[in-house]
Amino acid sequence: MLERSRTVEPAPSVNGSGVTWAYLSTLGLTIANPSTIISFAALVATLGIGTGAGFLAPALLVIGVFAGSATWWSVLAGLGAGMRARFTPRVVRAISTFSGLAMGGLGMLAIYSAIS
Q: Which residue type is seen at 109?
A: L
Higher pLDDT pick, 30 / 104: 104
**Domain of residue 59, residue span:** 39-85
pLDDT value of position 55: 74
The answer to whether residue 110 sits within a structural domain is yes
Contact 12, 18 (CB under 8 A): yes
Contact 57, 43 (CB under 8 A): no
Instruction: Mark whether 95 and 64 lie in a shared domain.
Output: no
Instruction: Mark whether 46 and 68 lie in a shared domain.
Output: yes
Instruction: Mark whether 111 and 80 lie in a shared domain.
Output: no
Residue by residue, DSSP assigns 25-71 as HHHHHHHH-HHHHHHHHHHHHHHTTTSSS-SHHHHHHHHHHHHHHHH
- How many angstroms separate the CA atoms of 49 and 57, rounded? 7
Q: Count structural domains, the chain.
A: 2
Least-confidence region, from 82-86, 100-104, 109-113: 82-86
Q: How far apart, in Å, are the Cα atoms of 90 and each of 11, 25, 29, 40, 97?
A: 18, 30, 31, 41, 10
What are residue 67's phi and psi, to 5 degrees?
A: -65, -45
Instruction: Mark whether 81 and 100 lie in a shared domain.
Output: no
pLDDT at 115 over 80: yes
Instruction: Mark whether 77 and 93 lie in a shared domain.
Output: no
